[in-house]
Amino acid sequence: MISGRFLDQSLKFDWLFILLTAALMCCGVTLVYSATIAEDISVFEMFWFKQIVYFVFGSFFAVALVFVRIDWLKRAALPLYCISLILLCVVLFIAGDVVKGAGRWIDLGIFKLQPSEFAKIAYLLTISYWLSKHPVSLFKMKTFVVPFMLFIVPFALVLKQPDLSTALVFIAVTMVGFFFAGLTLTDMFLIVSPVLSVLFSHSQAIGFEVLWGLLICVVVFALVRRRLPKVLTGIILLANILAGYASSMAWNMLEPHQQKRVNTFLDPMSDPLGDGYQVLQSLTAIGSGGLTGKGFGNGTQTNLAFLPEEHTDFIFSVLGEQFGFAGCAFVLCLYALFLWRATSICKQSSDSFVTLMVMGASTIFLFHILVNIAMTIGLMPVTGLPLPFLSYGGSFALTCMVLVGFLLCLRYQARRR
């Protein structure tokens, strides 16, 4: 017989959040199965079966994390961060398993570990803990020294692999952390403005040159309104001007395959059988799905192998082809409810560490969702960012489940307090 005390404690779990997570996992396994149904291999070697194993294994981590005290998470942050850096160094300099020109994995025999996924979690813990104790301000530049050092090391190691898309996740987490640690939206705009200057000034089109000029005007207006110290004001303005003129240098710093992705994004038809092939096939698959799709397992672009990386990077294209606009809208609604339920944890706790962790974890999910879907519909260059819970991948599936465990833990611990 279940005691009243146990029942009271069990009701503190966020069952709606758990249900949404389970629904997304079921959608993921179903789509991976339909995308790889034509492969003639044993069940145990099937991607969909492996994905179930990853989710089950990850669920044990999530359940275990629910009962971990928040104080323990804070204490574990720095050790986990150091371990993640060691693993990144191992994969980069010692034993990296190279796939398609990038060394991102450590081959453990039955499983390939991707240290950059583990580094996301460790970095989120560490930056959240530090910023919860030390708020940042543009008026006190020394407050950025430690956060910058914590950020730049894993960012540089991941970028060196090379894995630009995953490195951008670290930037997203950092910027959201800065916002909830004291920066205003104007401050964040001023910080990223040099990057915008590079993007706007790179194109030779007149429209982009005009945009860059407008950007400089907006930056000047923001600097005047914010009334930052004169030295910092000069540095930000000078950085924007230099960034604009050094855009070609920034372009040359990209890897050749990254440059091709950008060019293909701007004009997929320039190389329809080469670098533009993926985007064009993805658009064809999604467009052919119509309102309700072709039906489960009936996608021609998928089953006839026209769509590349259909079970990983382009799993959303499989969804669009087989289940149409209705299926895509359903999954997007699940994601929206999932993120809403996750961010609602902040209302239950006044602990800044909880807020930073929740918003950082939600940012990781949202960044992956936006970039992956934008990639499949031609709004962004093709990247290797998978779609949470839907794309096949052991390390990323475990990362998603660990983040879910953190979110459940933070809600559970907040309610207990």
- Is 50 exceeded by the pLDDT of residue 339? yes
Percent of the chain with pLDDT over 90: 36
Q: Is the pLDDT of residue 1 over 50?
A: no
Can you give the pLDDT at residue 248?
Answer: 60
**The pLDDT value given to residue 277:** 66
The distance from CA 78 to its chain's CA centroid, rounded to whole angstroms, is 22
Residues 6+ apart with CB under 8 A from 133: none
Q: What is the mean pLDDT of residues 340-359?
A: 89
Instruction: Give the chain's domain count.
Output: 1
Task: Give the mean pLDDT of 146-164.
Answer: 89
How many alpha carbons fall within 13 Å on the CB side of residue 276?
12
What is the model's pLDDT at position 403?
Answer: 95
Q: What is the rounded distance in angstroms from the CA atom of residue 328 to the CA atom of residue 357?
A: 29
Question: Measured between alpha carbons, how far is 389 from 370 in angstroms, rounded to an integer?
Answer: 14
Percent of the chain topping pLDDT 70: 79
Where is pLDDT greater, at 224 or 259?
Answer: 224
The region of weakest confidence among 23-32, 178-187, 221-230, 268-277 is 268-277
Instruction: Report residue 75's pLDDT band, with 50, 70 and 90 as the boundaries.
Output: very high
Contact between 346 and 354 (Cβ < 8 Å):
yes
- Helical (H) or strand (E) element with 102: strand 102-107
In terms of pLDDT, which residue wins out, 399 or 11?
Answer: 399
Q: Is the pLDDT of residue 199 over 90?
A: no
| Mean predicted confidence (pLDDT) in 180-185 | 90
CA–CA gap between residue 410 and residue 207 (Å, rounded): 47
Q: How confident is the model at residue 77 (pLDDT cuts 50, 70, 90)?
A: very high
Q: Name the more confident of 313 and 24.
A: 24
What's the per-residue H, E or C state across 368-401?
HHHHHHHHHCCCCCCCCCCCCCCCCCHHHHHHHH
CB neighbours of residue 13 within 10 Å: 15
pLDDT score recorded for residue 349: 78
What is the span of the domain harbouring residue 228? 4-416
Residue 345 to residue 342: CA distance in whole angstroms: 6
Label residue 307 by pLDDT band (50, 70, 90).
Answer: low
